[in-house]
Amino acid sequence: MNEIWNDFMTYRSELIDGLGVSIRLALLTFAIGLPAGLLLAVASFSRSKAVRITAVVLVEIGRGTPALVMLQLVYYGIPVTLTGFLSAGIALALTTAAYTSEIIRGGLQAVPEAEIEAGQALGLKNFHIMRDIVIPQGLRIAIPPLLGFCIIIFQATSLAFTIAVPELLAQAKSIANVNFHYFNVFVIAGLLYAVITVPASLMTDRLERKMSRHLQMQ
């Protein structure tokens, strides 16, 4: 226990820096991935069959490909040279978009049909029905599962070590390769991830219970 603490104190600046990179990478991923997910979700309701099919195919490819493979694909596959950080952000954003579009679609579908008909009866254009009626209510329903997914993606930023992004796990690995305290260093890295994810998941649970209180059965 004491040894683990000593290792933490010795390498704390590298580890905390790594955690900072992990957090920034997660934020970049959300900034690109969540709007793209919303776009894909809206596209799956399109009246044009071509748009609908394109959206479904993109989502299925995005969900069927492991995040690790996506990372390598973007890093090595895009002919323009991007930094590891940016490649990781784009790759994780693609995965995020595919998964969150399904979550958001579920939320949009939960908006009662009658409200859409009411909008049509008032002569609103489809665009305005989507923007002013369906999306604001549907997104609210989707918030708890979206937060849950964001926690998973924050964990997935750890994969970026494979393309040399200096995030928390990469830092932990390079420290462990120097002092051979593999166990101590990875325990510290794990705990640093848990410090973010566990409170976040407890808060998500609470939010979910609060928001679904009116639906409680029994």
Minimum CB distance to another protein, residue 29 (Å): 14
Q: Is 180 among the residues that bind another protein (CB under 8 A)?
A: yes
Q: What residues between 135 and 164 interact with another protein by CB under 8 A?
A: 155-156, 158-159, 161-162
Question: DSSP label at 163?
Answer: G
Q: Is 194 among the residues that bind another protein (CB under 8 A)?
A: yes
Q: Is 55 among the residues that bind another protein (CB under 8 A)?
A: no
Report the distance separating Cα 28 and Cα 19, nearest Å: 14
The b-or-e profile of 47-63 (16+ CB within 10 A means b, else e) is eeeeeeeebeebbeebe
Which of residues 62 and 119 has its CB atom nearest to another protein in the complex? 62
Which of residues 5 and 76 has its CB atom nearest to another protein in the complex? 76
Q: In the chain, helix, strand, coil percent, each to 5?
A: 85, 0, 15
Q: Is 202 among the residues that bind another protein (CB under 8 A)?
A: yes
Tokens at 76, concatenated: 């090595």
Minimum CB distance to another protein, residue 19 (Å): 12
Minimum CB distance to another protein, residue 61 (Å): 7
**∠ at Cα 53 (47, 57), nearest 5°?**
150
Q: Is 9 exposed, middle or buried (0-12, 13-18, 19+ CB in 10 A)?
A: exposed
Minimum CB distance to another protein, residue 103 (Å): 13
Half-sphere exposure of 78 (CA within 13 A, CB side): 15
Q: Which of 125, 127, 114 is nearest to 42 (CA)?
A: 127
Q: Is 5 among the residues that bind another protein (CB under 8 A)?
A: no
Q: Is 126 among the residues that bind another protein (CB under 8 A)?
A: no
Cα distances (angstroms) measured from residue 157 to each of 56, 121, 149: 25, 47, 13
Which of residues 63 and 131 has its CB atom nearest to another protein in the complex? 63
Q: Binder to another protein among 16, 27, 53, 69 (CB under 8 A)? A: 69
Q: Binder to another protein among 10, 31, 60, 140 (CB under 8 A)? A: 60
Minimum CB distance to another protein, residue 93 (Å): 17
Residues that bind another protein (CB under 8 A): 60-61, 64-70, 72-73, 76-77, 155-156, 158-159, 161-162, 169, 172-173, 176, 180-184, 186-187, 189-191, 193-194, 197-198, 201-202
